[in-house]
Structure 1
Amino acid sequence: MLQALREWLIGICTTIFFITAVEIILPDNSLKKYAKFVLGLILITIFINPLIKIFDRKFDINTYTSNAIKSFDMKKTEEDFQKYKEKNINNTLEVFKLNLQSSCEKKLKEKYPESNYKVQVDAAYDNKNDNIFIKDMKVGVKDGNIEKIKKITIGSDSKTVDNSANELNTERGQNIKKYLGDELNISKDVIQVYKM
């Protein structure tokens, strides 16, 4: 018991000496008040440490501090992991869309070489099933070399182009829908074929 009291008093004296040295070294500015606050907290923990050990013999301030730091680090790691995961999913979606668009344009050109094609894909990530699915696919078909003039609306905030007026509901359009639906194993309902 006397040894513990001796160690406690030595700890208090050492801490006070350390605090005094730090206060002398620090310049008089706004940093000094924050340093005094932190040093005061250190002094309080030195004072309280033996009282806590009386109630809990296994208590060690170093272990407690280490566990608190690990807890903060784990939360930060989880937040960083979630940010990385979301960024990775978004990048994967963009690459998936671009690859699918170019692949579909190439396959359509091979299957139906008399026309040119422009494919736009809208895909999303399903967290529940952990996969990517195609929400919407627009296939533009252009015959010949001259592209049809698109209707322009001035003063509209919408940047999406409405292709429903040019929708290709002919047998050719149905064949393109069936071909892409079978190739990609998706429903023909998500595929829209229109004339460019």
Structure 2
Amino acid sequence: MDILRNWIITIVYVIILLTFMEILIPNNDNKKYINFVMSLIIMITIIRPIIDFIKPDESIDEQISQISDYLEYNTMEKRLTYNNYFETESIIELYRQNLKDHIKKRVEKNADYSVHDIEISIEDNDEENLGIIKGIEIILKETSDNKKNISNEKIQDIKIKVTLNENNDTQQAHSINIDYEGDLIKDDLSYYYGLEKEKINIYILEDK
């Protein structure tokens, strides 16, 4: 009975969430594709217990999460195209913060580091390209698990000047060999947000 109850609650929750998101999405050519994805999420949610019963070792939680993330990101972009929203800077900042939250979640899922800070440069002047990401700088922090792995590596001190938002703060960081994980992070963000890898910079915060 608990399984059935949780299943019904999940379906109701997903329908309410998607209904709310549909209200925020403007009526344009992209809406029919977004509605299709929403219907797909509902269908997956409904048949999920059957799939889990047939293939208990194969979870689709990650697929649902990725689709939900895409819808939420797409919804934020579309909100910025409204003239009513364009008149206020608070929506721009809310959009920027939501982007940071999404990036933080994706980075920490793909790397053995925690995110210390994220700076994002977005287009906020050109209405036609409003909300387009122009650059990302990510400062990572070592976790207790990976400190041991880098303790014997040669560390080169560098200065990171955060200028994406006209912020003159300077942060101390060190450069270590995270080429593999760094490439994974850049590949993921580049594909997900449609941003060139060269416009994504990753640093490690120095632990003094």
TM value normalised by structure 2: 0.41
Higher helix share: 1
* Structure with max Cα Rg: 1
TM value normalised by structure 1: 0.43
